[in-house]
Structure 1
């Protein structure tokens, strides 16, 4: 067997490989952060080419809203914009023209200019900053009255563990409502307050904005516009926390959450209270019930004791206080007559506690919603709803 290497024959073989069959396979290049950034920007470019307009971050279309928020993020971050500038054939990164200082403030969708002091405030200079008290500095970092919110976060973790609540993809700006929990950059947050509508000028038009008070589980709080928080959710893979079996996106624009009608059971150790069977408080709250009862043991309306939430009904498109008042009329004959002394030394008469079986209370609430409650009354002797006698 001839082991001599025939260089001429091998060269002839390579020359005859016009299809590249003998070429060494190329090693695929790893996907870098720049590649991902360019790919995400090209999706925006593709949207523009298809629709001949930039995507809006305020539309109800979730897919377009996501692209619009992403474009807002590129425009707000110079380093990100520079990384994809070579792909911007249609000038998507061009910021809206600003004709005046007022326009500049009006177009600050990311709250980049939202500071408590103006540009002439020298308090941030090193020498002056040393004169600021630690108390003043801490107010910018720590959440006020965080001890009132901390139990809500603990309860939410317990509800997640039990499956009562679940984590879902963020479903849009419209789902950011007072009392809702979210996760941003791995930290749970609670929307504690939603401010009144602010009419903000934006060039030749105006738009409504709502300022939020957002409490974070790490003990800090922030103040930002609803739209700004929405953009951060899109940019940082924010998640929603919703009740199991309930999709926050199922609530339409015309459906307005009015509040909560709740049923509570007292955990009082006072024998005069704990010995009463079927004792429940029926009430209404515009805020989440867990927040409302955070200090129950200090409030006479809760009999100066902790309480357990038996039922929590979300009410849409009607006045929950009317529903609550009707329930009080239905069970007025079994209202608890009791007095409580508050921590201020004054005597109070809680009027929202009733002695009736929980299934009957739930039945009454459902009959109110259907309108059938007008045909029945509560009979304390039978402990049930019976037909009304004309």
Structure 2
């Protein structure tokens, strides 16, 4: 088959130009018009909208459930349609007819509107610290709400049970008792673990039995509670993927009280010591009525009996004799940290009482709690096991609840 060749394009000759000149036609090529900075900005913004339409096959839409940039393009397109100046600049390049649709009755375009102005229209802060060009970690709503990655969040009906947990955790973060660490890819997730995901503190409240999912991998169904009073029922691997995708995700550590039951003595450790639980013999009507659950919890390095010898004269002991209910012998323990841990753990059940010492000074004892003895013993056992961070004390049921 003979090879086809393109016909040679005829070149414009001097004779052609002379003929065109005789016909009165201008043969001088028109110089391209130089655009102002504002016109260039208008065209650049319009081209972003055109690119969106080309990719999505539709016009950008308004709505809080839409991606932030789609909402930005929708507002921008409305403004461009309403501006005579913008329509004049864009008329020759609007090949898709995007400017011809009716507007939605938004206010007229300002003289020199910017992306920051458009973001402000959306109710978003666009100050220097929140420059739109710096929104590196913003993910689309479609991605955030992907059914595979994040299950539907529903109102948490028993959030009052979790609210004090989140409040205590925030206080621990503020005081340095807890820290946040970058979540490591597919790191372990256990019941009671806490994370920061999509800007919210979350807690793994429940964890079902493991099962074998696709590709022979083990998975578990979780109940995850968020600090905005919502919860979701999702798979462990879905939570892990969400934590991996969120560049700002963090793991919240358990309280850092240092070594409590160490094999190596620290500077302020006791060679031997005791956790002791006391019961007051006070005739105060309230204490008498609740005597079986009103306990003082403390730690000492000496003899407990010697320490309580003058209890009747000491407001710390409610100005009454006390009964030693039980003691736990310890060795190589950081007493200050242990006391802080115990008192913080039972802080929701602290006895609110004020007494006057022998000088008439008001004293509020801080080591008395409305807690059953068996629950105190359970808490001490959790400290021994190193799992106390996975539990909280529920004063309504007078029991330990796993987080």
Calculate the TM-score normalised by the size of structure 1.
0.33
Higher radius of gyration, 1 or 2: 2
Calculate the TM-score normalised by the size of structure 2.
0.32
